[in-house]
């Protein structure tokens, strides 16, 4: 159904945009560093950079885990733009560095995101290409 992705309240709108940026900059970017390194030739891998990305990703996941305790969506009861940013970031992050056992609130949140019709459809349509994702 239809939902308002950014709240009319200016403070909530700012917080939503901040959370959107958090998922892109602190989850997605770290995941890209980890996964991108898998595409490099063995002798060109960045062990230090990947270790740092894993550390930063773990920190971000911990913050998300704490934030998601008792909440359905990133901003509370309403699905917002922040959740739109979280869905691919967390899906790929879980592929790069599985977190079901270490960050259960974050993993449960990812499961709720995957159950959303729009994201579920995106994953189904991507399925024929997921074998190309470097694991």
pLDDT of 37-80, one tens digit each?
Answer: 999 999 999 999 999 999 999 999 999 999 999 999 999 999 99
CB 78 within 8 A of CB 13: no
Q: Which pLDDT band holds residue 2 (cuts at 50, 70, 90)?
A: confident
- Average pLDDT of the chain to the nearest whole number: 96
Pick the CATH number of 10-132 from 1.10.1370.30, 3.40.50.261, 3.10.20.30, 1.20.1050.10: 1.20.1050.10
CB distance 35 to 96 below 8 Å: yes
On the question of pLDDT at 83 being above 80, the answer is: yes
pLDDT score at 3: 81
With b meaning 16 or more CB within 10 Å and e meaning fewer, what string describes 15-39?
bbeebbebbeebbbebbebbbebee
Asked whether residue 1 carries a pLDDT value surpassing 80, the answer given is no
Domain locations in the chain as residue ranges: 10-132
Statement: the pTM of the whole predicted model exceeds 0.85: yes
């Amino acid at each position: 159904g239809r939902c308002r992705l950014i709240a009319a309240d200016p403070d909530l709108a700012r917080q939503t945009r901040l959370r959107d940026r958090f998922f892109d900059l602190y989850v997605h970017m770290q995941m890209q560093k980890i996964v991108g390194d898998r595409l490099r030739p063995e002798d060109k891998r960045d062990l230090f950079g990947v270790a740092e990305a894993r550390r930063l990703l773990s920190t971000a996941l911990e913050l998300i885990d704490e934030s998601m305790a008792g909440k359905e969506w990133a901003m509370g009861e309403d699905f917002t733009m922040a959740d739109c940013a979280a869905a691919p970031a967390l899906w790929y992050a879980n592929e790069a560095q599985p977190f079901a056992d270490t960050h259960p609130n974050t993993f449960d949140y990812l499961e709720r995101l995957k159950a959303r019709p729009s994201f579920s459809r995106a994953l189904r349509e991507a399925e024929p290409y997921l074998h190309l994702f470097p694991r």
